[in-house]
Amino acid sequence: MPVLKLKSPHSLSPDEATARLKKRIAEEAEKQAQYVTELKETVIHPNKSEYSCKVYGFNLSGNFQTTDHEIAIEVNLPFAAVMMKGMIESQLQNALDQMLR
């Protein structure tokens, strides 16, 4: 599977950055409920989680980790999304940067 890796610096506490990201994930999943199903979170420790879901019926998984100065995200894309990887990466990076302001 192709892996999309994103990093974004922040000046928030790790807990606040994590809370914002988790809130955004939940909001987007709710807004896109017709396309996003079976959303599951596994908390590894307070500032690191793994996620999985189905988007348009395709399995999607990934994780994030928040440190004192950045959030790192990895998303395992289905092969069907390879041609859209650049667009997906750009949209996610923009959303992440805006969320952390």
Predicted local confidence at residue 80, as pLDDT: 85
pLDDT at position 101, please? 84
The domain 3-99: what is its CATH number?
3.30.310
The pLDDT of residue 93: 92
Closest residue by Cα to residue 42 from 26, 24, 62: 62
Task: Please list the pLDDT of the chain residue by residue as tens digits (101 residues).
Answer: 789 999 999 999 999 999 999 999 999 999 999 999 999 999 999 999 999 999 988 999 999 999 999 999 999 998 888 888 998 899 999 999 998 88
- Give the whole-angstrom CA distance, residue 87 versus residue 52: 20
Q: Where are the domains of the chain?
A: 3-99
